[in-house]
Amino acid sequence: LCAQHHQLDWLGISSLGFDVSIEKETDQIAALAVQGPTSYAVLSRAGFEGLDKLKPFHFLRQQIFDIDLMISRTGFTGDLGYEIWISPEHAINLWDLIYAECENGQFDIRPIGLNALNMVRIEAGFIMPGEDFVTAETAIRADRVRSPFELGLSWLVDFDKPYFTGKQALLVESKKPVQRKLLKLSVEGNKPPADAFIYNGKNGKRVGTVKSCVWSPILKANLTLSDIEFENGICPKQLWAEIYYQKELDWKSSWSLCHISKKPFWKHPRSSSTPPLLY
């Protein structure tokens, strides 16, 4: 189980009465994400096998130069990508091995930081706890908690399963009009809409807030993930963002029209094709 937030206490409570043991392995596993259009070519050249048959969200185990590891076809972008899971003592050697295969300049490989990762995950429409919503574990106010239906994660809820924690509550909620949703909104103009308020019509009723935003160099647009209130399950018809920005030590405000995107802002076909499309 790989989660951004630690879930050890919750797993321990949920395991009561079951013949199961839970072990924390955070310090025993290192993770290396290799993402982007050339990731398949780079890893294949480095000696990884079977990637041409590896489907999204699947994984396989193998040895690379006598190093045991697991590789999964997963990532936090809208492009092709893999994540490698390995013992920490071998992680640096694996890093050097992958870079050594790219020294001839054929592949433009480079490390990226959190700012770049935040950009590509918003382009792909991926959400983050603590950024786009408050987790149930940390929420102080009851109205801050969000359900899978409100976060666009209803595809992860399988009511055909015989039992899971929260099933009855989600069944009740699924039969009611949704009260709010985390929407993908592109915002017109060149002003960054960080923490902007969203209104139903220009100068209308405030119905939401921008949670995450980024300027996409690929799409040449301001992209946001925004928490929006619905009325009886109906989305507001025309959304406007009230943006505050600083200009020469003075604060200004402007209005920008928003456009709802029902699909990821950006997703390349090679991210889900098997075998992967060559770059």
For residues 110 and 159, state if they share a domain.
no
In a domain, 269, yes or no: no
DSSP letter assigned to residue 201: T
CB 239 within 8 A of CB 199: yes
Tell me the C-alpha to C-alpha distance, in Å, between residue 125 and each of 120, 157, 160.
9, 18, 27
The answer to whether residues 148 and 114 belong to one domain is: no
Verify that 120 and 14 share a domain, yes or no: yes
User: Where residue 104 sits, what CATH number does that domain have?
Assistant: 3.30.1360.120
Same structural domain, 204 and 230: yes
Asked if residue 254 and residue 154 are part of one domain, the reply reads yes
What lies within 8 Å, CB to CB, of 79 at 6+ separation is: 35, 36, 37, 120, 267, 268, 270, 271
In a domain, 61, yes or no: yes
Domain stop point among 124, 156, 177: 124
CATH number of the domain enclosing 167: 2.40.30.110
For 98, 102, 112, 127, the CA distances from 34, given in Å and listed in that order, are 10, 13, 10, 20
Domain span at residue 172 reads 142-261
Whole-model pTM: value is 0.92
In a domain, 132, yes or no: no
**Token reading at 55:** 């489907």
* pLDDT number for residue 104: 66
Residues 110 and 206 reside in one and the same domain: no
Question: In this structure, are residues 53 and 46 in contact, taking their beta carbons and an 8 Å threshold?
Answer: no
On whether both 93 and 51 belong to a single domain, the answer is yes
Question: How far lies 62's CA from each of 32, 46, 111, in Å?
Answer: 15, 13, 24
271 found inside a domain:
no
Regarding whether 47 and 146 lie in a shared domain, the answer is no
Helices assigned H by DSSP within the chain: 8-14, 39-45, 88-100, 114-124, 167-174
CA distance 33 to 150: 29
Q: Which of 124, 159, 178 marks a domain boundary?
A: 124
**Considering only CA atoms, which of 191, 229, 195 is closest in space to residue 211?**
195
For residues 160 and 257, membership in a common domain is answered with yes
- Residue 274, in any domain of the structure: no
Residue 165 burial (CB < 10 Å; 0-12/13-18/19+)? exposed
Is the residue at 59 inside a domain?
yes
What total number of domains does the chain contain? 2
What does the pLDDT profile of the chain (279 residues) look like in tens digits? 887 777 888 889 889 999 999 998 889 999 999 999 999 999 998 899 999 999 999 999 999 888 899 999 999 999 999 999 999 999 999 999 888 877 766 788 889 999 999 999 999 999 999 999 998 888 999 889 999 999 999 999 999 999 888 999 999 999 999 999 999 999 999 999 999 999 999 989 999 999 999 999 999 999 999 999 999 899 999 999 999 999 899 999 999 999 999 999 999 999 999 999 877
Q: Is residue 131 part of a domain?
A: no
